[in-house]
């Protein structure tokens, strides 16, 4: 959950070239954000770049802007998938300690401090985290809220809250256990040690690791574009049933999957997709 666990070498953010070659999404272009950059670099793809100076320390204003942009993309029929990224040195180095260091229990508990962070998981469209550099504390938690994690070669993950006298507070202890197992998650959370991109991939937290930061973002956008080409209802249902496996046991999960599978036979996209397969033509998705 917490804090600036690295010392930045420069106050200037360094963005890979791929992040600059983007065009604004028309429905969001009129909005002004202070801590994020929003674009639509490929057909059907929304991109949100964390852009808070120094190390992308997460705070309430940034997370509010992130949630607003995510909801806008989620509501847009022109967007089928979303990529969240940072810069080549830092995805997000943690939560901003200055925002929370003087909080009392009654203040934190009373106003449900950082509850809004979990709004990221309410997005119905697939979200890909393209992680370069540090993803520590809240940055690691944010990455784990995504549906897919892609890593650059120097991506570093960790939940070092124990070093501050606290614990993860935005889902880190729960999602890390489910992703890599209790034993390894317990070791990492109790020691505060970090782990590499290669380890994240090997343990099942990350889907892929790429040789450069630019390639990481490029491939995340490519995957998002591929997803966006498919029928929106099937994509939404696929995300929903996979996530359901985290919430229920195997038998209940299989039953839920079957019910959603059956429901898709009421859609025009199911008829179009299967007819195109049989007739060896390209399906025309309508999202209906």
Q: Which ranges of 101-212 does DSSP label H, i.e. alpha helix? A: 105-110, 138-145, 172-180, 182-191, 197-203
List phi, psi (to 5°) of 86: -125, -130
Take residue 279 and report the two structure tokens written for it: 């007739």
Catalytic residue among 88, 161, 199, 218: 161
For 107, other C-beta atoms within 10 Å of its C-beta total 11
CA dist 163 and 60 (Å) reads 22
Annotated active-site residue in 69, 88, 129, 141 = 141
Q: Is 218 a catalytic residue?
A: no
The residue written with tokens 């892609």 in the block is 150
Question: Which tokens sit at 4?
Answer: 């600036």
Q: Is residue 141 flagged as an active site residue?
A: yes
Q: What element of type H or E holds 72?
A: helix 60-75
d(CA 7, CA 141): 20
Residue tagged active-site, from 44, 94, 133, 138: 138
Q: Is-contact 214 150, C-beta < 8 A?
A: no
Distance CA 27, CA 39 (A): 10
138 catalytic per annotation: yes
- Whether 95 is a known active-site residue: answer yes
Active-site residue, selected from the candidate residues 3, 81, 93, 95: 95
Residue 282 exposed, middle or buried by CB count within 10 Å (0-12, 13-18, 19+)? exposed
Active site amino acids: 95, 138, 141, 161
């Amino acid at each position: 959950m917490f804090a600036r666990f690295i010392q930045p070498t420069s106050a200037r953010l360094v963005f890979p070239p791929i992040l600059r070659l983007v065009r604004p999404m028309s429905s969001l272009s009129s909005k002004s954000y202070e801590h994020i950059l929003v674009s639509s670099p490929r057909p059907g793809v929304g991109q949100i770049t964390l852009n808070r100076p120094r190390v992308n320390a997460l705070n309430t204003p940034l997370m509010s802007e992130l949630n607003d942009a995510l909801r806008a993309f989620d509501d847009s029929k022109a967007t089928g998938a979303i990529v969240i990224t940072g810069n080549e040195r830092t995805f997000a180095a943690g939560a901003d300690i200055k925002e929370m260091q003087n909080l009392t229990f009654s203040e934190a508990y009373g106003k449900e401090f950082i509850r809004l962070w979990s709004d990221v998981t309410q997005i119905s469209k697939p979200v890909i985290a393209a992680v370069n550099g540090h993803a520590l504390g809240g940055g690691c938690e944010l990455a784990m809220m995504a549906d897919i994690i892609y890593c650059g070669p120097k991506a570093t993950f960790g939940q070092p809250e124990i070093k501050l006298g606290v614990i993860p507070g935005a889902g880190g202890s729960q999602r890390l256990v489910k992703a890599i197992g209790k034993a390894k998650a317990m070791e990492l959370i109790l020691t505060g040690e970090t782990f590499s991109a290669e380890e994240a991939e090997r343990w099942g937290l990350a889907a892929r690791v790429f040789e450069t930061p630019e390639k990481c973002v490029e491939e995340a956008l490519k995957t998002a574009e591929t997803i966006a080409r498919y029928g929106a209802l099937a994509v939404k249902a696929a995300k929903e049933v996979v996530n359901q496996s985290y919430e229920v046991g195997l038998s209940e999960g299989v039953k839920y999957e079957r019910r959603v599978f059956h429901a898709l036979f009421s859609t025009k996209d199911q008829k179009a997709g299967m007819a195109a397969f049989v007739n060896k033509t390209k399906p025309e998705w309508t999202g209906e």
